[in-house]
């Protein structure tokens, strides 16, 4: 193809999740130091999978850097359901604990849904208990999942969401479904694709905003992306010891308007949003303890209103 004289092919803007997350954490650090006390996050870790150990270490490190208290509650991989449930009930009742996160996945003999649902909605900083999921669905004030919140921040760092056509590939409770609901709450027109969707490219090619959360490298190639689209790659898969996303980054960056790298895109935002949720949980508990007028509000209030 002859490229007309003077026409410059523009590669996509690379969205620097690490930098954006750092900016958010710097702001949180100031807010937390002004509180005069340390919000406390308890992390429940079962077993010792290397991936979970790494994620938990990052979360505890962030607590330390931001002036929050991070408490690790460890169990052997063989822990019984009842033992875990007792601990969650104990943490729910402990007024010195503002936030609870159960590191997933849990071993297969544990009913994961029952455990995450047991976490007190006011302390549920992963936003996975049924009450918080319902609040997200209904668009009322609650704690929402961290990775989807981070994805919204990344998109808003490069463009507006309202009125755009957003396509989400993946429909998990952790990422796909909540990010689709958040984008809908921000007035995008949202399509959700999954493993049974026929001709995924026909959908993704029309997306102004494309979020991919599948966990399979190269799910999205250049021919599946609209020119100038904002592409958020959530996937993380280890290939030959290297972390790769779901999007063929090198090819797609020549088409997209903006794109997140893996690593350095969505990952750092998840930790920043967790810290923001811990502070939000702390504030909601203080408000409620003070008989705050907003506790239990039925008004439509979206994400930014929480912070």
Check binding of 195 to ligand NAP (CB under 6 A): yes
Strand, helix or coil for residue 148 = helix
**Is 20 among the residues that bind ligand NAP (CB under 6 A)?**
no
> In the annotation, is 103 catalytic?
yes
Question: Closer CB to ligand NAP, residue 52 or residue 172?
Answer: 172
Length, in residues, of the chain: 307
Residue ranges in 245-304 that form contacts with ligand NAP under rule CB under 6 A: 266-267, 270
Using CB under 6 A as the binding rule, whether residue 188 contacts ligand NAP is answered as no
Find the binder of ligand NAP among 98, 132, 147, 277 (CB under 6 A): 147
- Of 120, 124, 126, 248, the active-site residue reads 126
* Cβ neighbours of residue 69 closer than 8 Å, sequence gap 6 or more: 38, 39, 40, 41, 63
235 near ligand NAP, judged by CB under 6 A: yes
Residue 147 CB, shortest distance to ligand NAP, in Å, is: 4
For 67, what's the count of Cα atoms within 13 Å in the CB-facing half-sphere?
Answer: 15
Q: Is 117 exposed, middle or buried (0-12, 13-18, 19+ CB in 10 A)?
A: middle
Kindly state the smallest distance separating residue 165's Cβ from ligand NAP, in Å: 18
Q: Could you say which of 25, 98, 204, 236 contacts ligand NAP (CB under 6 A)?
A: 236
Report the 10 Å Cβ neighbour count for 201.
13
Residue 87 annotated in active site: no
Nearer to ligand NAP, 98 or 204 (CB): 204
92-101 burial: b if 16+ Cβ within 10 Å, else e: beeeebbbbb
Per CB under 6 A, 214 contacts ligand NAP: yes
Number of residues that bind ligand NAP (CB under 6 A): 25
| Measured CA distances, 152 to 166, 184, 249, 269 (Å) | 11, 11, 20, 10
176 lies in the binding site for ligand NAP (CB under 6 A): yes
Which residue of 40, 102, 161, 175 would you call a contact of ligand NAP, by CB under 6 A? Answer: 175
Q: Tell me which residue of 6, 296, 248 sits closest to 131, measured CA to CA.
A: 296
Taking a C-beta distance cutoff of 8 angstroms, is the pair 40, 99 a contact?
Answer: yes
142 or 235: whose CB is closer to ligand NAP?
Answer: 235
Q: What single-letter DSSP state applies at residue 222?
A: G
Please work out, in degrees rounded to the nearest 5, the angle formed at the alpha carbon of residue 212 by the alpha carbons of 147 and 208. Answer: 105
Identify which of residues 191 and 237 has a Cβ nearer to ligand NAP in the complex: 237
Report the interface residues with ligand NAP, using CB under 6 A: 147, 169-172, 174-176, 193-196, 200, 213-216, 219, 234-237, 266-267, 270
Catalytic residues: 59, 103, 126
């Amino acid at each position: 193809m002859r490229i007309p004289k003077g026409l410059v092919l523009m590669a996509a803007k690379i969205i620097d999740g690490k930098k954006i997350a750092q900016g958010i954490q710097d702001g949180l650090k100031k807010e937390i130091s002004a509180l005069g006390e340390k919000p406390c996050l308890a992390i429940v870790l079962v077993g010792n999978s290397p991936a979970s150990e790494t994620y938990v270490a990052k979360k505890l490190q962030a607590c330390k850097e931001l002036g929050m208290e991070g408490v690790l509650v460890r169990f052997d991989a063989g822990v019984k359901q009842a033992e875990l449930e007792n601990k969650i009930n104990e943490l729910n009742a402990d007024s010195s604990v503002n936030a609870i996160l159960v590191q997933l996945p849990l071993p297969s003999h544990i009913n994961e849904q029952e455990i995450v649902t047991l976490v007190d909605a006011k302390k549920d900083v992963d936003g996975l208990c049924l009450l918080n999921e319902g609040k997200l669905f209904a668009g009322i004030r609650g704690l929402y999942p961290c990775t989807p919140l981070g994805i919204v921040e990344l998109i808003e760092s490069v463009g507006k969401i309202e009125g755009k056509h957003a396509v989400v590939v993946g429909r998990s409770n952790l990422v796909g479904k909540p990010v689709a609901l958040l984008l809908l709450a921000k007035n995008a027109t949202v399509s959700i694709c999954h493993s049974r969707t026929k001709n995924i490219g026909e959908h993704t090619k029309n997306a102004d905003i494309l979020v991919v959360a599948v966990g399979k490298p190269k799910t999205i190639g250049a021919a599946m992306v609209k020119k100038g689209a904002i592409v958020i790659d959530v996937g993380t898969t280890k290939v030959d010891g290297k972390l790769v996303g779901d999007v063929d980054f090198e090819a797609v960056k020549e088409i997209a308007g903006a794109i997140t790298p893996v690593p350095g895109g969505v990952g750092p935002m998840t930790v920043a949003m967790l810290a923001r949720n811990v502070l939000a949980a702390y504030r909601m508990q203080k408000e409620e303890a003070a008989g705050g007028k907003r506790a239990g509000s039925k008004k439509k209030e979206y994400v930014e209103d929480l912070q």
